[in-house]
Amino acid sequence: MRAAILPAIRFLSSLGLALFALLLPVYAFVPNLIERALHIGMALPLIFLTPRRTARRGVRLLDAGLTALGLVLCGYLIVNFQAVLDQYGVVTGPGQTAMGLLMVLIVLEAARRMIRPVLPAITLLFLLYALYGHLIPGYFGHVKYDPAQIVGMLYLTTGGIWGQLTGISANIIAIFVFLGAFVGETGGGTGFRLLAIRTSGRLRGGPGKVATVASAMFGTISGSASANVVTTGAFTIPMMKKIGFRPPFAAAIEAVASTGGQIMPPIMGAGAFIMAELTQIPYLKIAVAALIPSLLYYFTCWVGIHLFAMRDGLRGLAAEELPPWRETLRASAFFVVPFAFLLTFLIFAYTPQYAAFWATLSTLPLACVGADWRWEGGAVLGKMVRAVKEGGPQVAMIASICACAQIIIAILSHTGLGVKISSTIIALSGGSLVLTLALTMVTCIVLGMEVPTTAAYIMAVIVAAPALIQLGVHPLAAHLFVFYFAILSAITPPVCGAVYIAAGMAGADWMETARYSLRLSYAAFLLPFVFVYDYSMLIILDGSPLAVSASMVRSALAMLMLSAGFIGQLRGPLTWTGRLVLISVGIFWVVPHWAWNLLACIGSLLVFLDRRRLYLTDAATPAAR
């Protein structure tokens, strides 16, 4: 295969994924098995035919062979669809056993190519458990399964590789990924940037706040902390450094702000769609429930930037560096229009994928004009091609994650291991909700250190959520708790992908960047605990206006006090006594009980009145900073 052909094949695969994702909401009559086999089949060329560092002929032939083999195995299911359904997962001979085994290996290799090898390695451990778990004595053992049984279940049913997660990837996630790509390529990216600079640039530490606003807006469509860092960091990090931000601090701001993009409605990345399917809660309700926690996350980030800027004497941008309001508003239309379509259809109870279909179509007229709204009809095709090329590999990556994680879910269900792990978590915690939450938090962060958020969420939620629900936590609160900590793993050392990328872009030491990141986001790590104990923050679970307002005010004050305590700055530089007082007051505000909140009120008054004992008397910066 000549090298010149490969880009054409990859583009055709991306185009096929785009058309399939766009047409599926309108013509949704494709049987599940066919739909999911088509989805994975079209993703394979983007996975295996992407150029690798080595150009050896043998490697290229192997990649081509894996692609062809994967297409044949997916095609077999499509052509023999009815016969495969009639088999109910029972293989008819060694040929089908070999085909199933090869498909499993291709899925593992696809996940290894697209993400770190940790997820496929964990999947392989689960496969070994399915094969040899009958040798384990006691509670964690299971009945013996023949290899053909396992392979048949994984390859020939919609409970294995072609299960629910793969269906979510094909049905919902793909179209939202392409929506984000089309919004970005038709001018939405420019709109995000100009609006963020215009609204936040003049404030104290303005460029840092620009990064927060831009990352929140762009994160609604990107769904990836790393992609968010690369896209918005390209202009925010140089802007921050230009007015005096230290490189590690600039990188930390971008990493923390970009990580939060995955929890910002309306899109919230791939995890929200998976959550909707697993909980059977409508996606719009999940987005509404996540709104206040996401705003509090960015409030915490904003406060941290402001306090650091006060401490270090950082100013905002000059007036002449801001874009004019007219230019900003014109550019903003490029993302306001598709989001208006999306929200309108969601509010009128259409499915998320149908809403995304019309939102994506609304970008096509916008592609005909430039940022100044002048006609650029000749550039339309180029914009569409770039959007398809950008979206295709992202869809392929998510498809590989979902297919690989689906193997884990199938084995957990088939062997009963999921129930056993959940019961063990409860036993280890002694039935204590606080300890169960802490164990779940650690699990999510550890899993998220080496795999993308979506994979970390899937692996953690299938074992941890049942334990939380069994202890009385509402399913939505349990899933959001897992989701948030899977996301926060991107900025939690020692393996913190968003921090690594941001530090590299800023030319900063990643360890110092990670330290700043934690100081900016320490308070945010309490948010998931808050909404587990106080459902009013999630609106739809306890939606009385008084309860929601009280929860917002209490949580905002908690985030303010905790951030100031961790950073060592509020009205001025804090003593160590002042830091401890603020952290204590912040914890008091977190507890949804009037007695603790009364103590918090008294403590808050003390913080603002007693400057002699809580604040440094001179402007010297403590060595601890």
**pLDDT tens-place string over residues 561-611:** 999 998 888 888 888 888 999 999 999 998 888 888 899 999 888 888 877
CA of residue 430 relative to chain centroid, distance? 31
User: Is the predicted pLDDT of residue 158 greater than 70, yes or no?
Assistant: yes
Alpha carbons 611 and 170: distance in angstroms, whole number: 59
User: Is the predicted pLDDT of residue 556 greater than 80, yes or no?
Assistant: yes
Reading phi first (left if > 0) and then psi (alpha if -120 to 50, else beta), residue 416 is in left
Phi and psi at residue 168, in whole multiples of 5°? -65, -40
Q: What pLDDT, on the 0 to 100 scale, is given for residue 623?
A: 35
Q: In 3-state terms, what secondary structure has residue 245?
A: coil
Mean pLDDT of 70-89: 92
Which residue did the predictor score with more confidence, 413 or 155? 155
User: Is the predicted pLDDT of residue 162 greater than 90, yes or no?
Assistant: yes
**In the chain, domain spans:** 165-379, 556-625
Q: What is the pLDDT of residues 425-455, one digit of tens each?
A: 888 888 889 999 998 888 888 777 667 777 7
Please state which of the ranges 43-57, 72-86, 241-255 shows the lowest mean pLDDT.
43-57
Q: What is the pLDDT of residues 376-389, one digit of tens each?
A: 878 889 999 999 99
Q: What pLDDT, on the 0 to 100 scale, is given for residue 1?
A: 47
Q: What pLDDT, on the 0 to 100 scale, is given for residue 543?
A: 66
Task: Name the residue among 522, 551, 523 with its Cα closest to residue 535.
Answer: 551
- The DSSP output letter for 364 is H
CA of residue 295 relative to chain centroid, distance? 16
Side-chain-side CA neighbours of residue 342 (13 Å): 24
Alpha carbons 519 and 305: distance in angstroms, whole number: 10
Q: What pLDDT, on the 0 to 100 scale, is given for residue 40?
A: 96
Neighbours of 39 (CB within 10 A): 29
pLDDT band at 619 (very low <50, low <70, confident <90, very high): very low
Alpha carbons 286 and 482: distance in angstroms, whole number: 14
Alpha carbons 406 and 409: distance in angstroms, whole number: 5
CA of residue 389 relative to chain centroid, distance? 21
455 close to 231: Cβ distance less than 8 angstroms = no
The residue type found at 165 is L
Task: Name the residue among 178, 189, 174 with its Cα closest to residue 228.
Answer: 189
Mean pLDDT of 489-503: 83
User: Is the predicted pLDDT of residue 68 greater than 50, yes or no?
Assistant: yes
